[in-house]
Structure 1
Amino acid sequence: MRFHSRKWVKPEDLNPNGTLFGGRLLEWIDEEAALYTIIQLENSRIVTKYISEINFMSSAKEGDIVELGMEVTKFGKSSLTLKCEARNKMTRETILTVDNIIMVNLNEHGKPTPHGKTEVEFVKDRLK
């Protein structure tokens, strides 16, 4: 799994227990999944269709750095299925895993549309 971004846990990201609020982490994951899919499918019209069960294993506290990893598990006709891992860079513990995030490619009318992709592409390879 490739880890694409890092987030710094700030006071506004904490729950009443003083640890990372799960909803904030899910917001970060949804945004990262969208960004990853936009880059892969070369289309900014992307929506989240489905996020599977979320398995929290540990947490993070103020000042910790959270890394978000994404990996493509399936190319559908108009969708991309990803798996995600969030880990605490400071403690090296996995915070959570999400086995399936389905992102859908839309046309200019907001309807699902085929994307024609079958494998992960890297931007550096497109520039050759």
Structure 2
Amino acid sequence: MDHYKLILPEHLNHDGFLFGGNMLKWIDEFAYITANQEFPGNRLVTIALDNVAFHHPVAGGEIIRFDVERAGLGNTSVQYKVQVFGTRRHACPETILFETRITFVSVDRDGKKQPITQPAADCSTSTAGIV
């Protein structure tokens, strides 16, 4: 699932590039949105970010694309591969700016691990009719 973000002045660090903490926050948010769409009704919490790797600085005004793809599914957890792409100085093709894997675990109301439940076959994730 693709997500996009416009880099604004408030996202920049003291050197004028994207503050890494913002990137990590957006990865957590966009991966959670993807997981929530794929496994509605589960209470999912972030348990790990693996091998966080920043490849290039990101300047203000750039629009970046987050590609979130499921990488694994266990009994109580689901993992996503996240790659962030941008165009360097508006040139093609896109460049990988950042990549990581993020893992969510399904928990009950007491915070104890529980199996991930699959959506019902007739459960629609369509947004038709939503205003």
TM-score category, normalised to shorter length: 0.7 to 0.9
Report how many aligned residue pairs link the two structures.
119
In 1: Cα distance, 2:110 partner to 2:21 partner: 30
In 2: Cα distance, 1:81 partner to 1:44 partner: 14
Q: Which amino acid aligns with 1:104?
A: V
Greater shift, 38-47 or 10-19, is seen at 38-47
Percentage of identical aligned residues: 26
TM-score normalized by the length of structure 1: 0.83
1:111-126 to structure 2, matched below 5 A, reads 111-117=112-118, 123-124=125-126
Give the 3 Å change call, closer, same or farther, for CA 63–44 of structure 1 in structure 2. farther
Task: Give the Å deviation of 1:108.
Answer: 2.5
Residue 5 of structure 2: which of 7, 16, 20 is its match? 7
Q: Which amino acid aligns with 1:110?
A: G
- Hey, which bits of structure 1, 4+ residues long, moved more than 3 A? none
Question: Unaligned regions of 5+ residues in structure 1, if any?
Answer: none
Q: Which residue of 2 aligns with 1:71?
A: 69
Residue 55 of structure 2: which of 57, 73, 79 is its match? 57
Q: Is the 8 A contact 2:42 2:116 kept in 1?
A: no
Task: Give the Å deviation of 1:122.
Answer: 8.0
In 2: Cα distance, 1:84 partner to 1:26 partner: 11
Q: Is the 8 A contact 1:41 1:105 kept in 2?
A: no
Question: Unaligned regions of 5+ residues in structure 2, if any?
Answer: 127-131
In 1: Cα distance, 2:11 partner to 2:44 partner: 26
Indicate the RMSD between aligned Cα atoms, in angstroms: 2.1
Please tell me whether residue 21 in structure 1 is matched to residue 19 in structure 2. Answer: yes
Q: Is the 8 A contact 2:54 2:99 kept in 1?
A: yes
Q: Which residue of 2 aligns with 1:103?
A: 104
